[in-house]
Amino acid sequence: MAETPAIRVSNLRVMRGENLVLPDLSVEVASGRVTGLLGPSGCGKTTLMRSIVGVQIVAGGTVEVLGEPAGSPALRRRVGYVTQAPSVYGDLTVGENLAYFSRVVGVDSARARETAALVGLEKMEGRIVGSLSGGQRARVSLASALLNEPDLLVLDEPTVGLDPLLRADLWQTFHSLADAGASLLVSSHVMDEARECDDLLLIREGRLLRQTTPGELQVETGEQDLGRAFLQIIRDAPSQAGQGAGS
Amino acid sequence: MSPSITLATGIRVLRQIRHDPRTIALLLLVPALLLTLMKYVFEGQPHVFQQIGAPLCGLFPFIVMFLVTSITMLRERTTGTLERLMTLPMSKLDLLLGYAIAFGILATAQAVVICLTGFGLLGLNAPHGALLVGALAVLNALLGMALGLLVSAFARTEFQAVQFMPAFIFPQLLLCGLFVSRDEMAPALDAISWVMPFTWAYDALERAVSPGTLDGRIALDAAVVVAITIASLALGALTLRRRTP
Ligand SMILES: Nc1ncnc2c1ncn2[C@@H]1O[C@H](COP(=O)(O)OP(=O)(O)O)[C@@H](O)[C@H]1O
Ligand SMILES: [Mg+2]
């Protein structure tokens, strides 16, 4: 495995307000794979993703993305980021949103239509985004990040709130992107989604509990159900907060 | 910086406003209606209407653009689209100039409507031409836009942004000389008024709507307005952060 990882995080330390959200995180994410970033709400998934795309002020450590420091200008054409809350213009139509982001990343309108179709929005280009359902809006946000076929996609809970059919479609899309050479980091607080990923990062309270794969996790815990397997890992791990406050 | 991204941003902002007919009505009609109202309020004192109404034709665009821009920019910050744009190959200048293009076009439309109403329909006098007042109105609107972009960084909610209006605009409106000549104010207020953007905007307008010859002073006023606009845009650029806590 001489290939450079898509993401290399070393001793990352992030404060948000008064909270030490990531005390000292080190992890590598392999390229060309779909890596799941799983952990309960509030564990620091969004904070880690923000650090990777270079919009988070960090207190220490380094984050390297595709061989460059996170947030460096060259990466702005190579990394796609989809925030947890859909970040598109609610007062524009689907087509107008995609047309704008196409111009910003420098792709043509044919590609914008192709991308709309990729996430199942092909018949909705004339609809105002604000009048769409939450799941549809999330797909507009996702499509905007897929326009220029980035080498790394950082997707913050992209499947939350979507119906099961659509969710399955999206995971299939993620894998076909990975097959085409992209690397994907996908977060979720729904542990069942672990089975859709090639690799897994399990996080709790800003610490990496495990870097594993769905198969290894099942073997380790003896649980077929990945949701229960993760719960078991979480319960067995000592809580840092508990240790600090106790004794 | 990329002209194509700047232009795309200007078009995008105009499209956002186009989807909101009420805002367009607010931008174009409300100032003209207020001016009409004022004419009949001062029916018995037409000289007061001339004295206040004529410069107001050039000041309204400042107030409206300040409000609309600060809210549009605040939305950009709170809905996460600004964060997304900061991860894309877009420079801060692209964003600011895109806003300037969009609101500059709107401001021109607004200035045309209010100047036609004031100097055409309502009989206000522009001894040096309504075009001069219109041009100053566009400069003032761009100043309002630049200040609106800047203050949007200090508001968390749209409600707060709206409150900036009385907090930021009203004192300037009172001190600029529109209602009471500045040399009749308490000396301390007169001194303060010198550092307020509105004072310079008003001084230029007052000269533009008064009889007599124009001297270099109106050019100085306009230059100060342009300088404050550029300085506010530069400060506004500093508040657009790629990295946030
Ligand atoms: N802007 C902020 N200011 C202060 N604390 C924050 C801020 N954003 C998030 N936090 C805190 O940081 C922790 C991690 O948040 P986040 O990274 O959003 O978690 P996740 O995405 O896993 O749900 C939470 O405890 C949250 O309350
Ligand atoms: Mg989150």
Give tens-digit pLDDT for A134-184: 889 999 999 999 999 999 999 999 988 788 888 898 999 999 999 999 999
What pLDDT band is residue B161 in, cutting at 50, 70 and 90? confident
**Could you tell me the strand order of the sheet in which A199-204 lies?**
A79-82, A152-155, A183-188, A34-38, A199-204, A207-212
Name every chain B residue with its beta carbon within 8 A of the beta carbon of A89: 12, 16, 79, 81
| Residue A244 reports pLDDT greater than 50 | no
- Smallest CA–CA distance, residue A155 to chain B, in Å, is 12
- Decide if the complex's ipTM is over 0.90: no
What pLDDT band is residue B180 in, cutting at 50, 70 and 90? confident
Q: Which ligand is nearest to the CA of B83?
A: 1
Rounded CA-CA distance A37/B189 in Å is 59
Taking only residues 3 to 62 of chain B, the set having a beta carbon closer than 8 angstroms to any beta carbon of chain A reads 4-5, 8-9, 11-12, 15-16, 19-20
Q: Any idea which of A73-82, A108-117, A231-240 has the lowest mean pLDDT?
A: A231-240
Using CA atoms of B233, B238, B243, B245 in order, give the dihedral in degrees to the nearest 10: -110
- List the single residue in B4, B20, B83 with the smallest CB-CB distance to A83: B83
Encoding tokens for residue B216?
């270099």
Tens-digit pLDDT profile for residues A172-206: 999 999 999 999 999 998 888 889 999 999 999 99
What is the DSSP code (8-state) at residue A56? B
Taking the domains of chain B in order of start, what are their residue ranges? 3-238
Say if A128 is an interface residue toward chain B (CB within 8 Å).
yes
- List the single residue in A16, A91, A100 with the smallest CB-CB distance to B245: A16
% residues pLDDT > 70 (chain A)? 96
Tens-digit pLDDT profile for residues B62-118: 988 898 899 999 999 999 999 999 999 999 999 999 999 999 999 999 999 999 999
CB contact under 8 A, A85 and B80: yes
Going from the C-alpha of A198 to that of each of A182, B85, B210, the distances in angstroms are 13, 30, 76
Encoding tokens for residue B231?
């300085």
Rounded CA-CA distance B196/B221 in Å is 12
The pocket around ligand 1, CB under 6 angstroms, is made up of A 16-17, 19, 21, 39, 41-47
Q: What is the pLDDT of residue A61?
A: 96
Encoding tokens for residue A213?
């794969």
Name every chain B residue with its beta carbon within 8 A of the beta carbon of A92: 12, 15-16, 19
Can you spell out the DSSP letters for B33-75?
A: HHHHHHHHHTTT-HHHIIIIIHHHHHHHHHHHHHHHHHHHHHH
Distance, CA of B125 to chain centre? 22
Overall average pLDDT of the B113-126 stretch: 95
| Residue A24 reports pLDDT greater than 60 | yes
Say if A91 is an interface residue toward chain B (CB within 8 Å).
yes
Q: What is the pLDDT of residue A246?
A: 37
Q: What is the pLDDT of residue A191?
A: 84
CB contact under 8 A, A56 and B243: yes
| Residue A240 reports pLDDT greater than 70 | no
| Residue A242 reports pLDDT greater than 50 | no
- List the single residue in B5, B15, B81 with the smallest CB-CB distance to A88: B81
3-state secondary structure of B23: helix
Q: Which helix (H) or strand (E) holds A21?
A: strand A19-29
| Residue B170 reports pLDDT greater than 70 | yes
What pLDDT band is residue A247 in, cutting at 50, 70 and 90? very low
| H and E: helices and strands count for chain B | 13, 0
Taking the domains of chain A in order of start, what are their residue ranges? 84-149
Residue-averaged pLDDT of chain B? 92
| Residue B41 reports pLDDT greater than 90 | yes
| Residue B36 reports pLDDT greater than 80 | yes
CB contact under 8 A, B89 and A81: no
Encoding tokens for residue B59?
């000041």
